[in-house]
């Protein structure tokens, strides 16, 4: 073995050792950061089991754990009703937007026709449109139709597809080979069958992703419930939580344990949703950015 080869091997050994050190350092840094990111959620959950006097003690575990706050909140606010309202709105919003966006995305992905390019350009343009711009006229439309005060405006706009999901689903539909569709067409399958029986099943993960994204967006939205809902009985949980903040938080009685517990109840369903669909969430977001 020549000296040069020996030297190279020694170099590689040093490099590998440095690499290992570096990785250990990276993992240590990430661990600290991960604690910083997750801690607020843990803090919130823990605080919801603390009596009022201990909320701000910032201890990880409650000194005198209690379920009192949950009973108080349940009495003070119609949380069961709010949760039920939100569940209905979220299910409707996510289902309608998934179906309608899939239809539109398929139309853009599979069929070639004049005007398709410019129309899809419009879809992309509306993605960049700030929501605040259409807030007032949209409110007036629902006002005209007599739906202000109901949860209808919170989901029924989703019947018409949503630019972001159309864009996302089109990416997936474009990847499908055309041959199976041509073959099915020769066998006399209708265009609807091609979409519903072939394209949709093949792109199921993308549809699940759309559903999950919209479920999260719909569940956590505060702006539209603030605009459209007036009666406490129609509130969604975020809107209800805002009412709880107003009553028990800075504007009211400073009973933070109530606010904290209501926040936990508002948040937990989303954490569950995330862990149920974790695979889809992370992969799906990865696809949105790289093609953006």
Q: Footprint of another protein on residues 243-282 (CB under 8 A)?
A: 245-247, 249-253, 256, 259-260, 263, 266-267, 270-271, 273-274, 278, 281-282
238 part of the interface to another protein, by CB under 8 A: yes
Instruction: Give the start-end residues of each E strand in the chain.
Output: none
Match 């569950």 to its residue by tokens: 272
222 part of the interface to another protein, by CB under 8 A: yes
Please, what is the minimum distance in Å from the beta carbon of residue 145 to another protein?
Answer: 11
128 part of the interface to another protein, by CB under 8 A: yes
List, as own/partner pairs, every contact residues 6-14 make where C-beta atoms lie below 8 angstroms and the sequence separation is at least 24, other chains included. none
Distance, in Å, from the CA atom of 215 to the CA atom of 200, rounded to the nearest integer, reads 19
Please, what is the minimum distance in Å from the beta carbon of residue 210 to another protein?
Answer: 14
Please, what is the minimum distance in Å from the beta carbon of residue 283 to another protein?
Answer: 9
The CA–CA distances, whole Å, from 24 to 2, 27, 241 equal 34, 5, 42
Positions in 8-27 near another protein (CB under 8 A): 22-23, 26-27
Positions in 55-84 near another protein (CB under 8 A): 55-56, 58
Asked if residues 171 and 178 have their Cβ atoms less than 8 Å apart, the reply is no
DSSP string, 16-60: HHHHHHHHHHHHHHHHHHHHHHHHHHHHHHHHTTS-GGGGGG--S
Write phi, then psi, for 122 (nearest 5 degrees). -65, -40
Distance, in Å, from the CA atom of 97 to the CA atom of 193, rounded to the nearest integer, reads 20
- CA terminus-to-terminus distance, the chain: 52
91 part of the interface to another protein, by CB under 8 A: no
173 part of the interface to another protein, by CB under 8 A: no
Pair of tokens at residue 220 = 């956590």
Among 104, 121, 147, 206, binds another protein (CB under 8 A): 104
Please, what is the minimum distance in Å from the beta carbon of residue 212 to another protein?
Answer: 10
Among 76, 103, 152, 208, binds another protein (CB under 8 A): 103
Range in contact with another protein (rule: CB under 8 A) among 4-12, 32-40, 76-84, 176-184? 32-40
Among 8, 136, 174, 183, binds another protein (CB under 8 A): 136
Asked if residues 109 and 174 have their Cβ atoms less than 8 Å apart, the reply is yes
118 part of the interface to another protein, by CB under 8 A: no
Distance, in Å, from the CA atom of 264 to the CA atom of 72, rounded to the nearest integer, reads 14
Positions in 182-221 near another protein (CB under 8 A): 191, 195, 216, 219-220
Please, what is the minimum distance in Å from the beta carbon of residue 7 to another protein?
Answer: 17
């Amino acid at each position: 073995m020549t000296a040069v080869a020996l030297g190279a091997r020694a170099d590689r050994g040093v490099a590998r050792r440095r690499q290992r050190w570096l990785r250990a350092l990276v993992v240590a840094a990430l661990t600290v950061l991960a604690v910083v990111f997750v801690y607020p959620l843990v803090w919130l959950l823990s605080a919801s089991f603390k009596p009022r006097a201990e909320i701000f003690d910032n201890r990880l575990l409650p000194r005198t754990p209690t379920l009192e706050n949950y009973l108080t909140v349940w009495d003070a606010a119609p949380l069961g009703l709010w949760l039920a309202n939100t569940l209905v709105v979220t299910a409707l919003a996510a289902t309608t937007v998934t179906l309608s966006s899939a239809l539109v995305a398929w139309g853009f992905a599979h069929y070639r026709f004049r005007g398709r390019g410019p129309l899809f350009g419009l879809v992309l343009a509306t993605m960049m449109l700030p929501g605040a711009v259409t807030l007032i006229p949209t409110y007036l439309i629902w006002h005209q139709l007599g739906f202000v005060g109901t949860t209808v405006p919170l989901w029924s706009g989703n019947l018409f597809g949503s630019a972001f999901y159309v864009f996302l689903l089109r990416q997936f539909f474009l990847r499908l080979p055309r041959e199976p569709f041509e073959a099915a067409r020769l066998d006399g399958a209708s265009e609807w069958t091609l979409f519903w029986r072939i394209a949709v099943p093949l792109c199921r993960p993308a549809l699940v992703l759309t559903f999950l994204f919209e479920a999260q967006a719909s569940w956590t939205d505060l702006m539209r419930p603030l605009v459209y809902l007036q009666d406490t009985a129609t509130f969604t949980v975020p809107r209800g939580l805002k009412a709880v903040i107003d009553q028990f938080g800075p504007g009211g009685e400073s009973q933070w344990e109530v606010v904290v517990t209501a926040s936990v109840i508002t948040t937990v369903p989303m954490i569950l949703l995330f862990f149920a669909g974790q695979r889809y969430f992370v992969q799906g977001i990865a696809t949105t950015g790289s093609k953006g």
